[in-house]
Chains A and B, each alone.
Chain A
Amino acid sequence: MRPSVKRGLRGLGLLAAVFVVAAAPVSPSHGQAAARDDIIGQLSRFDTAPELDLAALRQKTQERSRIRSRNEPEASKRPPIAPELQGLPGFNVDIQFDTDTPIVRPQSYETIGRIADALVHATLLPYSFLIVGHIEANGKRESNVILSQRRADAVRDILVNTFKISAKRLQAVGLGEEQLLDPPHPTASANQQTQILTVAKMPEQSEQPARLETSAPAPVKKPAKKKK
């Protein structure tokens, strides 16, 4: 009896897991549940660094969002603006912002803290990351690109300034509604998620809190160590 109950429970657990995975894109709160070690696991599967030109990507995204042509396909039919990002290791996380601003709501502080915990962990120290902002297909396309860039920058700023993750390890780009995370449902909230992607592995990596603190505005109580 017991084993079958156990098996049944396991089956149920599996089913629940499948459900969670399936529901993740539409149900924002699951992003919060991602534990630090899950994040580490998702970000450390890395083989080759993609060729990324973020300045060019930002420009391209902005230009496409300004197209006024009648032939422009509807949001769900537009090709992704940065297909090169789609195969990268990473995860999508729900970070709540105040409407039309890059201000993170307190309910998402823990999520950002957990991302910071993962990035500090020894396993992830050799890697650097791209924070990708997205917006659902509502409102002006052009404003959405700008807002998503400001939000991605804000997440980066919090990680760098508050949790002192080395600025060298983090870049940010906003894709507006030009790379929907849930293309069949352009206005679904899943499209508001923030992505954290692994983009490089440094052979000689450099997370240097000592140096970081001197460049950061935060006053450090302990005087900087005197190293000749």
Chain B
Amino acid sequence: MFRGSSILLIVLLTAPSLATAETMSFAETAALLAKSCAADIETNCRGVNLDSNRLKECLSRNRDALSAPCAENYLKTFDAIQKRVAARTAVANACAREIVKLCAGSTKETSKSVPCLTTAQGVSARCIQAMGDAGYR
């Protein structure tokens, strides 16, 4: 009995740290890109806007000329943006039960249910995590 409750306690204590987002916010990613590559962009990619295709292509094309921090981080930052965007699609799966049962919505139009999901009672930890990863919360 006692062991059971202490395990529960441990689970409860560690849960919040597990629930932190696994994706980076767009602001963080964009800041990292700017910090790592500002000089490289101004020198080698002048005239190219913050575009996940064109800027990535330009930096890749100039790979040999990039500063060390930029070479190390630029692909990571574009991947991080992609990951956060892709996390939106994962919400439909992680929150399928909640969307249908609690929000009377459809998993085909997940985002319509998102405002409801953030306030509904009885939303699973997995769903909450997925919404955090997508930046909905």
- B-binding residues in A (CB < 8 A): 36, 98, 101-107, 109-110, 112-114, 116-117, 120-123, 125-126, 154, 157-158, 161-164, 204-210, 213, 217-218, 220-222, 225, 227
Q: Which residues of B line the A interface, CB within 8 A? A: 25-31, 33-34, 37-38, 41-42, 46-53, 81-82, 85-86, 88-89, 92, 108-112, 114-115, 117-118, 131, 134-137
User: Hey, which chain B residues are within 8 Å of A36, CB to CB?
Assistant: 25, 27
Q: Are A161 and B37 in contact (CB under 8 A)?
A: no
Neighbouring A residues of B111 by C-beta, 8 Å: 125, 205-209
State A213–B109 Cα separation when bound (angstroms): 14
Check if A106 sits within 8 Å of B34, measured CB to CB.
yes
- For A126, list chain B residues within 8 Å (CB): 115
Cα–Cα distance between A204 and B116 once the two chains are bound (Å): 13
Looking at the complex, which one of B25, B48, B51 makes contact with A161 (CB distance below 8 Å)?
Answer: B51
Given A106-B37, A121-B137, A210-B89, check contact A113 B47 (CB 8 Å): no
The 7 closest A-B pairs by CB, nearest first: A113-B30, A207-B111, A106-B38, A113-B26, A209-B88, A109-B30, A110-B31
Q: Say how far A150's CB is from chain B's closest CB, in angstroms.
A: 11
- Please name the residue on chain A nearest to B135 by beta carbon: A120
Smallest CB–CB gap between A165 and chain B, Å? Answer: 10
In the complex the two chains form, is B49's CB within 8 Å of A110's CB? no
Interchain CB contact under 8 A, B28 and A106: no
> Can you list 7 A-B contacts (CB < 8 A)?
A104-B50, A113-B30, A116-B27, A158-B51, A164-B88, A206-B109, A207-B88
